[in-house]
Amino acid sequence: MKKANGTGPYPTSDQAGRGSEAAPSPEPRIQRVLLVGFMGSGKTSVGSALANRLAWAFRDFDEEISFRAGLPIKEIFHQRGEGYFRDLEKLVGEELLLEEQVVLGSGGGWPVAEGRMQNLPPRTLSVWLKVSPGEAVRRAGREGETRPLLAGPDPEKLASDLLEQRVSFYSLAHVSLDTEGAEPERLAEQIEELMKATGRA
Ligand code: S3P
């Protein structure tokens, strides 16, 4: 685990595991954790595991978008277009980011807008779950053809190009975690340790 942007009010990974030995933090308690990262990075599985550990709610942006549109994500793209999806995603993001004691899993494209990652509500811890294009495609593929942006003859090339365009946005998260070879439960535990180090628990 490493600190991603050097400017946030959160501890470095070195501090994360120290639990009660960590210096008391002047920061107010974290009220929400926002997971960002590419498709297949594990936002839903890690987010659900973390929410269980904290006894908080888990809210998935895509699930809410799908519910509001009355269509699966793939169908929203096909029937209404990406622009419609992005408008709904913006609205849902604004609303879910008002909730407290919540773990949020954004869609992979949500952070990709000027100012979004920089203007999160106070007491939000943002976490970038990192994944390689190859692993993203493998994991997404196991869920069937649910990702319209990876549909094409060479999904790994699509993933690689898209990830390259997005890295500068994801890297604005307060912390980043490598997900490859790590169980969701272990990643959730690491995030919880970080929160404890900041005085959340
Ligand atoms: C998208 C990611 C998807 C979903 C939509 C667009 C993206 O969510 O929001 O297919 O632009 O990266 P996941 O990141 O949960 O797969």
Ordered by where they begin, the domains of the chain are 32-197 (3.40.50.300)
The pLDDT score that the predictor gives to residue 84 is 98
The pLDDT score that the predictor gives to residue 47 is 98
Using a 10 angstrom Cβ sphere, with 0-12 exposed, 13-18 middle and 19 or more buried, the burial of residue 171 is middle
Q: Which atom of ligand 1 approaches the CA of 37 most closely?
A: 14
Q: What is the pTM of this model?
A: 0.87
Q: At residue 160, what is the residue type?
A: S
The pLDDT score that the predictor gives to residue 139 is 87
* Per-residue pLDDT tens digits for 125-152: 999 999 999 999 988 877 777 888 988 8
77 CA distance to ligand 1 middle (Å): 11
Q: Which of 43, 62, 75 to mutate to test the pocket of ligand 1 (most atoms within 8 A of CB)?
A: 62
The pLDDT score that the predictor gives to residue 74 is 94
The pLDDT score that the predictor gives to residue 198 is 72
The pLDDT score that the predictor gives to residue 7 is 44
Q: What is the mean pLDDT of each run of 10 residues along the chain (201 residues)?
A: 50 39 60 96 97 98 98 96 98 98 98 97 96 92 81 91 97 96 97 83 51
Q: What's the Cα-to-Cα distance from 191 to each of 15, 78, 195, rounded to whole Å?
A: 12, 36, 6
Residues having CB within 6 Å of any atom of ligand 1: 39, 43, 62, 73, 107-109, 147-149
